[in-house]
Amino acid sequence: MVVEDGPALGVEVEAEAGDVALDRGDGGRAVLGGVVDERQRGERAGDREEHGERGGDDHYRIGSLTKTFVATVLLQLQAEGRIDLDDPVEKWLPGVVRGNGHDGRRISVRQLLNHTSGVHDVTSDPAFQERVFGPGFLEHRYDTWTPRQLVDVALSHPADFPPGTSWSYSNTNYVLAGMVIEEVTGRPYGKAVENRIIKPLKLRGTSVPGTRASMPRPSSPAWSTLSADPGAPVHDVSRLNPSVAGSAGEMISDSNDLQTFYRALLKGRLLPRAEMRELTTTVPVSPEVPRIRYGLGIMWEKLSCGKEIWGHSGGIHGSSTEGRVTRDGEHSLALNLNADWTGDGAAVLEAEFCGTSPRS
């Protein structure tokens, strides 16, 4: 769910009996990637491993790449005149965003999408972290979370800053954005994603699972230490109730579909010109990282070689994903690592788009 560095090549794990622990050894590589570069008229899609355990049609949880789908739906709804992104959140969710300095009357839907709302991030709550990401996961992995429950956890903390005065990544913003879509359309946000993006683009490997804990086939196990200690025992976390992420990060896809989506989006196939300008209007993330800016559910990044790329990073239990594309939509990459204790997505992006060698 969080914005974070994603995978790097060369992580290996070997399973023991059962689904509790793993030893790092000479087992199957956990990296899966796909690349398309139309300017070279070539396509490289599929696994990047030695043992063939992951294929090009492998499904995986994409975490925060879900946010780009959600923002695209809201921009489509604005293009149809059904919502204005400058509407206050209060208009669509009366009384929901209140307390501890949060006030939906002062926060716009746009500020949810570009993370300038100041709404506290639910995943920063210590009790939530222990139950969801720590050892408590093993007991609570099948719990169902409603969007309102996630929002209420976040609102139990003070707002991070007054709306529009700073930037801070908050999954709560996109939980609220999904709730707004439901109010506008009268249906769950996932239905809007399916009808407006998945079906038109024929993304056969992409789904919005809701509360379904299982993964579609084919898919590979997802591994997590459930700890900040990279040397801790590793657990199979493949099965979980994705409502814990909801519209901030629950979706499932594959590398081919993700490239199809981001290429179509940046080529203007999903949004009119005016909404494309809004999608790609960015705000600074931090003075310390001037090469990254955030639009509406999409990040802009300038690499060391000067190349500019768009997309998102995603992390959810045992799954780290990168989806990037150039502004012309001609060169794209989707990459997944099904182990969450390591990874260096920045090195992979530099290697692909700048031609440098990834760090080991």
Q: Which residues are catalytic?
A: 64
Per the structure block, which two tokens stand in for 237? Answer: 């976390």
DSSP string, 166-215: -----HHHHHHHHHHHHHHHSS-HHHHHIIIIITTTT-TT-B--TT--S-
| Residue 229: half-sphere exposure toward Cβ, Cα within 13 Å | 6
Per the structure block, which two tokens stand in for 213? Answer: 């804990």
CB-based contacts of 24, cutoff 8 Å, min separation 6 = 12, 13, 14, 234
Per the structure block, which two tokens stand in for 151? Answer: 């929002």
CB-based contacts of 74, cutoff 8 Å, min separation 6 = 83, 85, 109, 113, 177, 180, 181, 296
CB-based contacts of 344, cutoff 8 Å, min separation 6 = 5, 7, 8, 358, 359
Per the structure block, which two tokens stand in for 348? Answer: 């992979």
For residues 346 and 168, give the distance between their C-alpha atoms in angstroms, rounded to a whole number: 20
CB-based contacts of 228, cutoff 8 Å, min separation 6 = none
For residues 315 and 328, give the distance between their C-alpha atoms in angstroms, rounded to a whole number: 26
What's the burial of 330, exposed, middle or buried (CB within 10 Å: 0-12/13-18/19+)? Answer: middle
Rg (CA), the chain: 19
The amino acid occupying position 279 is L
Do you know the residue count of the chain? 360
Look-up of token digits 């501890």: 100
